[in-house]
Amino acid sequence: MIDLHTHSLFSDGELIPSELVRRVEFLGYYAVAITDHSDASNLDFIIPRIIQVADDLNRSQPVKVIPGVELTHIPPKSIGFFVSRARELGARLVLVHGETIVEPVAPGTNKAAIEARVDILAHPGLISDEDTSLAVENGVLLEISARAGHSFTNGHVAGLAKNAGAGLVLNSDAHSPGDLMAREFAHKVVEGAGLPSGSLSSLLSNARQLLEKIGYPL
């Protein structure tokens, strides 16, 4: 298993990064990205610290740990700037907190994130056909979310992605240890999104390809 969207206590997750990683190791994962919520207030604080712990853990245990970030509730006008800033600071995986229907995420966030070529647009809610096509063009993966609430629109995201040929990836968006997915549960979330049974392996293969692209081959 691979999970490219998790939170530690550097934002609103419950676990220190080392415990998060130990728990996914125990579940048999190959790789995990730590992607804490970030904006102008904390980007330069979080990223170097996550890089530090990822470097240490990558020397000392088998799960590949990818230092990432989830840019969250940043006004769409500023998203492009902060995607570049996050990469300059060394984030290897940049997510944007997309237009989930359970929060008042600013309209235009999905589009701005895709235009800025983030790696993954997290929980894109009722993403439009136009933005889905742009995601294909810009190589942005769309997220199928296992998180309660964000997952309400998984069927919509999966349907549009299938029609447009957009790449999908399954993430837990874990904030607590109980949010981390066993493989059996991951299969159910994928099927629950309306994807054919057995699709988990193609979503994992998309995650693996992204890891290769950013320098973490499995």
List residues near Zn ion by CB under 5 A. Answer: 70, 97, 122, 173
What is the C-alpha separation between 141 and 172, in angstroms, rounded? 15
Angle 155-160-164 (CA atoms, 0-180°, nearest 5)?
150
Rounded alpha-carbon distances, angstroms, from residue 170 to 6, 11, 104, 145: 12, 21, 23, 6
Q: What's the min distance (Å) between Cβ of 104 and Zn ion?
A: 13
Residue whose CB is less far from Zn ion, 100 or 163:
100
Helix (H) or strand (E) holding 161: helix 154-164
Comparing every residue's Cβ against Zn ion, the nearest one is 97
Residue whose CB is less far from Zn ion, 30 or 70:
70
Residue whose CB is less far from Zn ion, 132 or 145:
145
- Is the Cβ–Cβ distance between 179 and 173 less than 8 Å? yes
SS3 of 101, please?
coil
Q: What's the min distance (Å) between Cβ of 60 and Zn ion?
A: 26
Task: Give every CB contact of residue 199 below 8 A, 6+ residues apart in sequence.
Answer: 190, 191
Q: What's the min distance (Å) between Cβ of 173 and Zn ion?
A: 4
Residue whose CB is less far from Zn ion, 11 or 133:
11
Q: What's the min distance (Å) between Cβ of 61 and Zn ion?
A: 23
Q: How far is CA 213 from the centre of its chain?
A: 15
What is the C-alpha separation between 120 and 168, in angstroms, rounded? 9
Residue whose CB is less far from Zn ion, 185 or 212:
185
Helix (H) or strand (E) holding 84: helix 76-88
User: What number of other Cβ atoms are within 10 A of residue 143's Cβ?
Assistant: 26
Q: What's the min distance (Å) between Cβ of 149 and Zn ion?
A: 10
Residue whose CB is less far from Zn ion, 122 or 207:
122
Q: What's the min distance (Å) between Cβ of 176 and Zn ion?
A: 12
